Amino acid sequence: MFFNLPTLLTWARIAAIPLLVAVFYWSAVPMPLRNALATGLFIVFALTDWADGYLARRLNQTSAFGAFLDPVADKFLVCASVLVLVHLGRADVFVALIIIGREIAISALREWMATIGAVRSVAVHMVGKVKTATQMVAIPLLLYDGVVLGVDTRWWGTVLIWVAAVLTVWSMGYYLNKAIPEIRARAR
C-alpha cells in the first residue's frame, strides 16, 4: 500500500532528511547544540526504520512498494549524513565515495538482476546487515563530535566508519560474486 502507517513512517524519514542537513546551517545555534540536534534526529530516523518494518509485519501491512521504499530511505539517510560529515571534516571523502558508490552499484545490480528474474542471487546477506549496523552506530558518533561519559565520539565514530567502509567493500564483493554466474550466463 502507498499510504499505510509503515509507509508513512518511511515517507516521513525521507521528507525529514533535509532537516538533518539544515541543522548544520543554523548559524544562530552553537555548534555543540547543532551536533546534539543532528545526532538526535539521526537516531530518531534510524528508529523509524526499525519501527516501519516492525509495524508492517505486526499490522500485516507489508507491500512491494514499502519493500522498495524502505531501503531507498535508508540510502538517502546514510548518504546525506555521510556527505554532511565530509563537509564538516569529520569523515574522509574516500569513505564517502566507498559508501555512496557501493549503494549506487548494488542498487543498479539488484535492479538489473530483478529484470532478468534473478533477484534472489543478490538478496540481503548478513555482511550487509552488519555493514548497515556499523554505519548506524558510526554516523551518530561522528555527528555528535564530543565526549560522552569519557568516550571520544569522533575517535570511535572514525574507527567505526572505516570498519563500515571495509564491510561495504566486502559486501559489494559478496553480492557481485553471487551475481557473476548470472552475468556470465547473460553475456553469452
Residues in the chain: 188
Mean of pLDDT values over 17-23: 93
> 112-129: per-residue pLDDT in tens?
777 777 666 666 778 888
pLDDT at 114: 75
Domain count, the chain: 1
> 147 - beta bridge partners?
152
pLDDT at 118: 67
DSSP the chain: --SSHHHHHHHHHHHHHHHHHHHTT-TTS-HHHHHHHHHHHHHHHHHHHHHHHHHHHHTT---HHHHHHHHHHHHHHHHHHHHHHHHTTSS-HHHHHHHHHHHHHHHHHHHHHHHTT-GGGG---HHHHHHHHHHHHHHHHHHH-SEETTEEHHHHHHHHHHHHHHHHHHHHHHHHHHHHHHHHHHH-
CATH number at residue 64: 1.20.120.1760
Answer for the pair 82, 99: CB distance below 8 angstroms, yes or no.
yes
pLDDT at 122: 62
Question: Hey, what's the torsion of the CAs at 168, 173, 174, 177, to 10 degrees?
Answer: 160
Count of beta carbons in the 10 Å neighbourhood of residue 116: 13
Range of the domain at 116: 5-187
- Return the top range by mean pLDDT from 1-10, 41-50, 62-71, 145-154: 145-154
> 135-165: per-residue pLDDT in tens?
999 999 999 999 999 999 999 999 999 999 9
